[in-house]
Each structure stands twice: as structure tokens, then as C-alpha cells.
Amino acid sequence: MAVREAVALDVFGAAARIGVPVGAWRWAAAIGLVPPPDAGPDRWSTPTVAAVDTEGIRAALVSTSAWTAAERLTAALGDPLPPLRPAVTARMIGDLPRAGVLLRLEGPVDAPRVHVDQVAALTRRRDLPALLDRHVLYGPDQAAVRLGVRRTDLDHLVRRTLLNPARTVAVDFGKARGGEVDVQLFRGLDVALLPTLHPDIDWSALRTLGVGARSPLAPLAPGAGGDVVTAAVVATIAGVGRATITTWRRRHADFPTPTGGTATSPTFDRRAVGAWLLARGKITPTEPPPASRLLLHTGLRLDLFAATLTADGDVGHRLAGFADPSAAEELTTTTTTSAGVQIAHAEGLAGREPFSAADVMVEVSGTGFGGRLRRVVLSWPGPLRRPELWQHSRPWTVLGDPADCSCVPAVCGALLVDDDGCALHGRVAGPPAMEHHRAGNIRCLDLAARRGAARA
């Protein structure tokens, strides 16, 4: 008696029928190499499967592991990684197919193989950081990095119920490391919005705490999260006046309903208000703080985060902030003389014009931002000087994003222009020697003019 042939095949049956990996069939179905299912949801008839281009399906599959995909997305976030931005993990790659961002080809659900073309497309997206916040779950260590705090501070935030886990997973760390442990996972967006929704916490102070320092969150009682907020707090969260909140309540029927209080002083659920404000673009997740950029006479470019400039004595100054450990180490190796280093150009300090400084002494000690950055202190006995102008002839002179620079680099003889008659950006009487390029660079006008004439 003949065995009746199956008339409907699922993904596994279809892949087995033509002898290709399951991931190959899934990818082919996603990009249209196979017809849509014709025998039910995610099922194909036997004739349809037999008619597909098997070799074309095999050739289209170029998959990569979740670990390799995580490395590529991490590299796309920046090198070194910006503050408040955790590295992408293989488990986070597993969150992206569930959100419809990537296609799971095969392998474990929490660490799937994915297509290299999709990964490459993600690396080119300008909104990659925001996309990750929206769709991935952060473990405790990643959540601490995203907030720029220590792991112990994050534990206090969870204990206060300021941050609630989305789910808990069992992770086996091996017998030597405690065996199977339950690990809490947090929605990336909940983590990223926490500083915005809780302006009552001094996040700057938390991020500058060193190893071993007592957390200001420690004395607070468990469960003291403050889920109920007044209209005044809502106004602070949104960065608007109290009257604006009243106007929004009157104009928008979907504004969160008060959970208590009185008619003249209502209270609201903090998370509900946060979701409403986020959906309308009234608030945004916390982004890395802007860096103050320093260019030293040695060519080292140093990005200082949370930088502060204060007076030190009658005319001296002290610049303190946090830098990437590798840059901080390189900074200490350049300080080889008792005269210190020279700051040729410093910019990005709030309320300060760009400046330069001489005889700068360097001190690198302590950590911040959850231990990821080193604390750097630069001090000098003299006043702030007009910034020195550097030729656009070396890559390290670029103060803007090199990718945004479209000019032809000038190959000038000198490296440093120290001309008392040349003001910032080359604005002097008569033809300027230098100009400030739109990408934040300074270039030699004489050479630029000669090159322009040569092209013509």
C-alpha cells in the first residue's frame, strides 16, 4: 500500500524536503525567494516546495552567530563605547527577532544565527542606540552601564522599586561560579527613561561616585519609589510650566487620569505619565553627556565627560572630568617633563569660549560612571589663553566628526600656528591665514586657494 505524501509542509518539513538548512528556508521566505504559504499559516504545499530554486536558496543564506552580530553592533556604537552605552550581547541579539528587527534563521532563541546583511544594515542606522533601547532587555550589569552608575547603585534602585524587572531568567554560570542563578532583565526603555522620570535623584553625583563610596540611595527604605507624582513634578519631568500640564489635560482626552489628590492638586501614576509624554515626543531617553574636547600639543585628543572648570588660586585654573581609560593612560605617558603638557585647544565647556593653556599638570586617579571612566584633573598656574590654531594636516586635529569632513586635507609645513595677530577662526584685519571649517576644523586658506586654482 502506497504511503500518502504530505500535502502541507511547515518550515522544517519544507527545508528537509529540498535539503537546505531551516535558516535558509526562513531567509528565502522573508526575501521572497519562495512563494507565500499556500497550505495554511507558515505551511506550503508539496508541489510549491518542489518547484523552488534550491541552489538560489542555498546561495542566499549567509548567516552569522549571535556573538559575531553582537560584536559588530557594539563596534557600530563607537570605539571606545560612549558613556551610558553598554556593549551588545548575544542574548540581546535574541531580543531583536522577537521585536521584528532581525530574522531568526536557526539556533537557540536567546542566541540565534542571523543574516549578515541584516546585521550590516543595522550597523549603518543612525538610530541604532535608540533602537536597542526600545527592543532589548538589559541585564543588571548592562542596566548599570546604561545609567552610568555602579552595580550597587542599581541594586538600590531596584530595591526602591524605581526600576522593575520585565522578566527573570535562569543563567548557569557553572559550579565554580555558583551554578544556576536567577538574573533579572529590564526593559531598555525603562532603564533609559529612569533619569528623566526621576529628576529628584542627583544622577550627576551618582555617576561620579568612586569604588567603595557609600551610595546616597542606601538609606532610603525599600519600596520608596514614589510611583505617584503631582502635576508640579510632571511639569519638571517634561521641562515645562505647571500651566502647560493643565492645558494638556484639557486638550488631550487621553492624558492619564489622576490616581488621587484633589481637584486642584491631582496626583498621577509616574509611569503612565512617562509613557504619555514619551509617545508624544515630550521627553526622550537619557543620552550620553556631551564631551568637552581637548587637543594637546602632542596631538592627543581627549574627550572629558562631566567636565568642570574652576579657578585655582588668583590666576590658576583646574579642569576636572572623566575620560576613557586608554586615553587617560596615554595622557599620563605624555606628561614626561616637569613643565607638564600644553592644551592647544579646549572646547565644549558650558559657558566658556574655546581656550588654550600652558604648563598643565596632569593627575589621573579614581573612577566614575560605574567604574568605566577614569577621573582626570588638569591644573595650571596661569590664565586661560586664546586657542592656538592647528593646521588641518593631521587626523588628530579634527575636532568634529571625521566622517562629516568633506574638504581635502591641507599638507602644510607647520603643525602649530602661534600667531599673536591671528584671532580665533582666523578673523584678523586683512586676508585671514586660516578659516574655521563647517565640520569644526581649521584649514590653511593659502593652500586651499592654491589647490582650488589647480583644480580649476
Torsion region of 344: left, alpha or beta (phi above 0 gives left; psi -120 to 50 gives alpha): alpha
The closest of 160, 157, 153 to 205, measured between CA atoms, is: 153
Question: Can you tell me the distance from the alpha carbon of 182 to that of 173, in angstroms, rounded to the nearest whole number?
Answer: 10
Backbone angles phi, psi at 318, to 5 degrees: -140, 120
Helix (H) or strand (E) holding 436: strand 434-436
User: How far is Cα 69 from Cα 111, in angstroms, rounded to an integer?
Assistant: 10
Long-range interactions of 43-47: CB distance < 8 A, separation 24+: 43/8, 43/9, 43/10, 44/8, 44/9, 44/14, 45/7, 45/8, 45/9, 46/5, 46/6, 46/7, 46/8, 46/9, 46/17
DSSP string across 207-219: HT--TTPPPTTTT
| Degrees to nearest 5, angle at CA 328 with 327 and 332 | 115
Cα–Cα nearest to 72, from 114, 110, 133: 114
Can you give the residue ranges of every domain in the chain? 8-61, 136-197, 228-279, 291-387, 390-455
Q: Treating both helix axes as pointing N-terminal to C-terminal, what angle do 128-135 and 188-197 enclose, rounded to 10 degrees?
A: 100
131 vs 149: CA distance, rounded Å: 22
Strand locations in 219-351, DSSP E?
Answer: 228-230, 260-261, 266-269, 291-296, 301-312, 316-323, 341-347
Q: Tell me how far apart the alpha carbons of residues 406 and 63 are, in angstroms, rounded to a whole number.
A: 35
- Pure H helices in 252-305: 270-279
Radius of gyration of the chain (CA): 28
What pLDDT shows up at residue 392?
36
Query: 136-197 has which fold?
Result: Multidrug-efflux Transporter Regulator; Chain: A; Domain 2 (1.10.1660)
d(CA 126, CA 122): 9
DSSP 397: G
Cα(358)–Cα(166) distance, integer angstroms: 52
Q: What is the pLDDT of residue 388?
A: 55
Greatest Cα-to-Cα distance within the chain, rounded to the nearest angstrom: 104
List own/partner pairs for 419-423 with CB under 8 A and 24 or more apart: 419/389, 422/389, 423/386
Looking from the CA of 183 toward its CB, the CA atoms found within 13 Å total 18
**Contacts of 340 by beta carbon, 8 Å cutoff, 6+ apart:** 359, 360, 361, 362, 380
Q: What is the pLDDT of residue 357?
A: 85
Within 13 Å, how many C-alpha atoms sit on residue 142's CB side? 24
**Residue ranges of E strands in 217-315:** 228-230, 260-261, 266-269, 291-296, 301-312
Which residue, among 86, 71, 79, 151, has the nearest Cα to 326 in the 3D structure? 79
Q: Looking up cell 532587555, which residue turns up?
A: 137
* Residue 312 confidence (pLDDT): 77
Q: Which string of DSSP letters, residue by residue, matches 160-201?
A: TTSS--SEEEEEE--GGGTSEEEEEEEEHHHHHHHHHH-TTS
Q: What is the pLDDT along the chain (456 residues), one digit of tens a residue?
A: 444 455 789 999 999 999 998 888 988 888 888 999 998 888 999 999 988 999 998 888 889 999 999 999 999 998 888 889 999 999 999 999 999 999 999 899 999 999 999 999 999 999 999 999 999 999 999 999 999 999 999 999 998 888 999 999 887 766 666 677 889 999 999 999 999 999 989 998 999 888 888 998 888 766 655 688 899 999 999 999 999 999 999 999 999 999 888 888 899 999 899 999 999 999 988 888 788 888 887 777 889 999 999 887 777 899 999 999 999 998 888 765 556 788 877 888 887 888 888 888 999 988 999 889 999 999 998 888 876 544 333 333 334 344 433 333 333 332 233 333 333 333 223 333 444 443 344 445 555 565 566 665
pTM above 0.85, yes or no: no
Task: Look at residue 412 in the predicted model and tell me its pLDDT.
Answer: 34
**CA pair distance 367, 362, nearest whole angstrom:** 15
For 435-452, b/e burial (b = at least 16 CB within 10 A) is: bbbebebbbbeebbeeee
Q: What is the pLDDT of residue 223?
A: 61
The pLDDT, as a whole number, for residue 325 is 92
Neighbours of 44 (CB within 10 A): 26
